[in-house]
Structure 1
């Protein structure tokens, strides 16, 4: 049997759980905080594989093993690795209080509506995009992915709560700082967790399902769900196809270029993505922000013409939607294609723009496809009858980045 003990946030392990253990595995601070049974071997956790091999030896001989961990070891902890290696039936897990629960308790906020993301040994950009998209996020940090790096990548309206050495009566600190203040500090190695808050939405609505919110009830909303000028809005049929090809999800960054009313960007944000809308018309900028507020999502709006405004965007997007069809369209598509990690979708009304837009995608290494989308909507007429009213046809192109082949490359 392997007993996995979560020591809570700084609380020592119950000595009764260690009694009779032949092997005790844990971090140095956890091991230093307990008295080992006489004759027990101790292993300080570093690389996981050698420790698991040692555990396997003792388990194979039928000897009891204790693994010490921080907080709740089943929450982004060692329980996963142990269950995969030895099977869940061999584990006796005694959880402590997680750093996430403790940090939220320290600032008096509920966390059933918080999203928890790990940046420990993982790509920081995912945590950053989740923080940009959601109002309440707990980030589990690691080397190179701490409060300073997180703060440097986030917009200025986010508050970071940096919780360090939780549970240690002498060293514990819980500090509220701006993103800029976090970026300017050296936080050391004692950080337990970072909470990222949009203070205006930190309490949120009462939830039935905890954690990551589900998909919205509906998408490809009707045009009247958005403020727009003179029907200058991506129609819902086009939006439905664009969303299907963009594939926005939590952890993604999406650009909505030539955003207009921002309907595509808002819908991507409703589906969980972080969104940057780029728009050159000053009056449209206000409408985009109003539409984002109306739908309860966060959209960063950049006022300026594309492609010039794109140069100021620091983070490469996972997917890009390009609307409009002016003479600069090929240059805009080319600029987006150079930086998009996964997909570029282009909607245009003018037939003349299609070849150049397609060439911009294929020359950037994208596999390109597209359709002419034309629909007719049911429209009532006097006399309780209905006719079909045709909408304007729209060309929708999409490019998917193809993986680079290693064939013929010198090793």
Structure 2
């Protein structure tokens, strides 16, 4: 059995956790956790940096303990009060060595990572300890180890039935408690050991987000990415939570966060739209579900002279764009912003590019009417695109004679897909060539639809809409070659 103890945010270990540590032969944890716990004499300890060496040591301990238990039973019969049993020191293993390795699942405060600690493997009379303590393993972690923490890695390696998890309070729960807000409707994103772009896009699209931070993905980097791009957002930076002498919880703007050096004690940053932090009570925790409908009727958007993508076009365009939480979508030549708004309703961060000022105002009004955030950029593509962050997907609904050049630029920048709507037949070959040249898998359709329309006498006719060509390109997934053995 592996006992996993969450130390809370600065709180001492509860009595049952102290008893588990006192009976341990192997204790695994960050240096600060090991220093704070009362370790039994002779217990082996592993100071965490990378996780892989610790998992291997735990496996050896459990395997050796199981083997010793079987030997005891065979020679002496069952012994009452015997735990996992046995010794688990690897024959010939030195008492102190460097522990090197990597593991992909890296959280933040609730992680197995000891930031800034030297990555070492330390042994203190391990063979005697395992014999005395029965091979018991204790893992110390911050907060709730089942929340972006070490429990996942342990369960994957050893199975959940071998874990006895005793959680503390997570840094996310503590941070929201400090600012007096509920967090059942918050989105939690880990940026620890991960690309910050996903966290940035979630912060842009959702009103209540907790970002678990890490080296290179802290408040300054998050603030710099959000400054001037995130609407009315504030950041709440939580440092040294639970430490009475050093705890700080500060509210700043993204620009203010970007200008400061926050040190290494920050574990979580809250990104809040203060006008929307108290959402109605829901049954399901976490981010709100996707929209109950899409391809909305044109009447649900302000537009000029029917200059709007028809809902039939938007339905297929959305299917090919695949907007989702954590994505960034461009709507180029956005017009009324109907596609931009629909993508934002799916949870994507959206930038709408429009060359007319009245069009920009119309997009903002439509976004506000639908309760979503859309960043509006005034300017003409492709020139204005150079200052924007690379998107996951792009919808191009305008462009005129510049359309092939716009498609070329967007195809070079898009990470996943480009969708182009056009009415002019003679522009189709150039658009297709641009998508093909960028290495996209290209396809398309001519959309022609007829809607039911009333006639005098309580009868109905079919009213044809203008035909539209819809072309899309999808970037093939990257192929990785295995290393020859």
**TM-score band, normalised by the shorter chain?**
over 0.9
**Candidates 338, 352, 371, aligned match of 2:445:** 371
Cα deviation digits, residues 219-248 of structure 1 (max 9, x gap)? 111111111111110000000000000000
Are 1:70 and 2:73 matched, yes or no? Answer: no
User: Are 1:132 and 1:155, in contact at CA under 8 Å, matched by a contact in 2?
Assistant: no
CA distance in 1, matches of 2:375, 2:420: 20
Are 1:12 and 2:12 matched, yes or no? Answer: yes
Q: CA deviation at 1:275?
A: 0.1
Cα deviation digits, residues 129-150 of structure 1 (max 9, x gap)? 1111111100011111111111
- Match of residue 40 from structure 1: 43
Cα deviation digits, residues 224-276 of structure 1 (max 9, x gap)? 11111111100000000000000000010000000011000100000010000
Q: CA deviation at 1:404?
A: 6.1
Are 1:345 and 2:348 matched, yes or no? Answer: no
- Match of residue 117 from structure 1: 189
DSSP 3-state at the match of 1:104: helix
Are 1:258 and 2:333 matched, yes or no? Answer: yes
DSSP 3-state at the match of 2:59: helix
User: Are 2:240 and 2:265, in contact at CA under 8 Å, matched by a contact in 1?
Assistant: yes
Cα deviation digits, residues 62-101 of structure 1 (max 9, x gap)? 2211111000000000000000011000111111000000
CA distance in 1, matches of 2:480, 2:251: 47
**Candidates 106, 109, 133, aligned match of 2:205:** 133
Gaps of 5+ in 1: none
CA distance in 2, matches of 1:249, 1:406: 25
CA distance in 1, matches of 2:172, 2:294: 32
Higher Rg of the two aligned structures = 2
Q: CA deviation at 1:204?
A: 2.3
Gaps of 5+ in 2: 66-83, 85-134
Q: TM-score, normalised by structure 1?
A: 0.96
- Match of residue 326 from structure 1: 400
Cα deviation digits, residues 8-52 of structure 1 (max 9, x gap)? 111122322323111111111111111112322111111101101
**Candidates 51, 56, 72, aligned match of 2:59:** 56
- Match of residue 89 from structure 1: 161
Cα deviation digits, residues 194-222 of structure 1 (max 9, x gap)? 11111221222222211122111001111
DSSP 3-state at the match of 2:446: strand
Q: How many residue pairs were aligned?
A: 406
**Candidates 357, 378, 390, aligned match of 1:303:** 378
C-alpha RMSD over aligned residues: 1.3
CA distance in 2, matches of 1:358, 1:90: 56
User: Are 2:22 and 2:38, in contact at CA under 8 Å, matched by a contact in 1?
Assistant: no
